[in-house]
Amino acid sequence: MTIIQANGISIRYITGDFKDIGLKEYVMRRLKGDYHVTEFWADRDITFSLEKGDMLGIIGSNGAGKSTLLKAVSGIMVPTKGHMEIHGTVAALLELGSGFDGDLTVRENTYLRGAMLGYTRKFMNEMYDSIIEFAELQDFQDRPFKQLSSGMKSRLAFSIACLVNPDILILDEVLSVGDGAFRKKSGDKMRQILSGGVTGILVSHSVDQVREMCNKILWLDHGKQVYFGNETETLCNAYEEFLITRKLPESFVEIETLSDAFIRRKEEERRKKQMNEAQKLQSILESGSSDAAVEAALSIIRKRKPELLKE
């Protein structure tokens, strides 16, 4: 069953003089003919489709149009061109920490955030205790939100969002909150949610995370779609190679070439590392004064390659 079908999505931002100018200034500029608005395409002609249970990883460097695309999927923006079909409820975890009110208590903020994510009061009443427990904020429930540390804030945000039970889950750089222990806990929770059959979209700058969690990849660069497909390994390899060489592939054949280059590079690195290790070991042994090194070498050879000694 197709959950998300995006056909030729283009999203245009308008930038220019209109932002932060007042009515007086606007009228003056209009009269002088000095009013300029420029267009900026954050996404151009993006096409992809996700089936139920798919996990899409969106990769691309800064300014590639990833977050804008997510905003279109979550319904905050409408595509300027193209058509998007979405079947199911969407929960978007975009930039977790913002949107809380410093003067309200932790409890009030929790309910407010829950309401914004579209839960009902009944659901929140049931879930409240487990949210606080997961965020480890039992002792802070009635403190004003501004007294929390920033780590605590994002922990709370993650915990609220985590209890979502949506059909489509959007994760924008959210798997990197809190300290090490919490990061592990949140990663486990995320995997648990994803194994429950939701369709997910993940944006992450950690390619390893994408490799681990995603079965489809959408590669964007400066708003253009480089490739969409389910060849996760090849694409991730090619992307990592691209990050080093900055050469954008034009076709899938070039992607494969890039990927091969990356594998070769990795292999090379590995060999170098091994070589270095062997050299190091040898130098240690050689610098020893006694014959212990020779004896050790002999005993290793005896154990592993006895046929060498026979010769």
Q: How far is the CB of 195 from other proteins (least distance, A)?
A: 26
Confirm or reject binding of residue 128 to other proteins (CB under 8 A): no
Stretch that binds other proteins, among 19-27, 48-56, 255-263, 292-300 (CB under 8 A): 19-27
Confirm or reject binding of residue 30 to other proteins (CB under 8 A): no
Q: Report d(CA 29, CA 146) in Å as an integer.
A: 42
Q: How far is the CB of 174 from other proteins (least distance, A)?
A: 12
Q: How many CB atoms sit inside 10 A of residue 110's CB?
A: 25
> What is the bridge-based pairing of β-strands 2-16 and 37-51?
antiparallel
Question: Which tokens go with 282?
Answer: 């040898």
Q: How far is the CB of 95 from other proteins (least distance, A)?
A: 6
Q: How far is the CB of 304 from other proteins (least distance, A)?
A: 60
Q: Report d(CA 104, CA 131) in Å as an integer.
A: 17
Q: Report d(CA 50, CA 5) in Å as an integer.
A: 7
Judged by DSSP in three states, 33 sits in coil
Q: Report d(CA 38, CA 76) in Å as an integer.
A: 22
Confirm or reject binding of residue 34 to other proteins (CB under 8 A): no
Residue 153's nearest CA partner among 181, 118, 116, 178 is: 178
Confirm or reject binding of residue 22 to other proteins (CB under 8 A): yes
Confirm or reject binding of residue 31 to other proteins (CB under 8 A): no
Q: How far is the CB of 76 from other proteins (least distance, A)?
A: 5
Stretch that binds other proteins, among 10-18, 57-65, 187-195, 260-268 (CB under 8 A): 10-18
**Residue number with CB closer to other proteins (112 or 263):** 112
Q: Report d(CA 103, CA 144) in Å as an integer.
A: 6
Confirm or reject binding of residue 169 to other proteins (CB under 8 A): no
Question: Which tokens go with 105?
Answer: 């208590």
Confirm or reject binding of residue 145 to other proteins (CB under 8 A): no
By CB atoms closer than 10 A (0-12, 13-18, 19+), residue 189 is middle
Confirm or reject binding of residue 298 to other proteins (CB under 8 A): no
Stretch that binds other proteins, among 103-111, 194-202, 256-264, 290-298 (CB under 8 A): 103-111
Q: Report d(CA 55, CA 183) in Å as an integer.
A: 20
Among 38, 98, 138, 195, binds other proteins (CB under 8 A): 98
Which 72-91 residues touch other proteins, going by CB under 8 A? 74-78, 90
Confirm or reject binding of residue 119 to other proteins (CB under 8 A): yes
**Which phi and psi (to 5°) does residue 7 adopt?**
-120, 110
Q: How far is the CB of 185 from other proteins (least distance, A)?
A: 24
**Which phi and psi (to 5°) does residue 195 adopt?**
-75, -10
Q: Report d(CA 50, CA 95) in Å as an integer.
A: 23
Q: Which residues contact other proteins by CB under 8 A?
A: 13-14, 18-26, 74-78, 90, 92, 94-95, 98-99, 101, 103-104, 108, 111-112, 114-121, 124
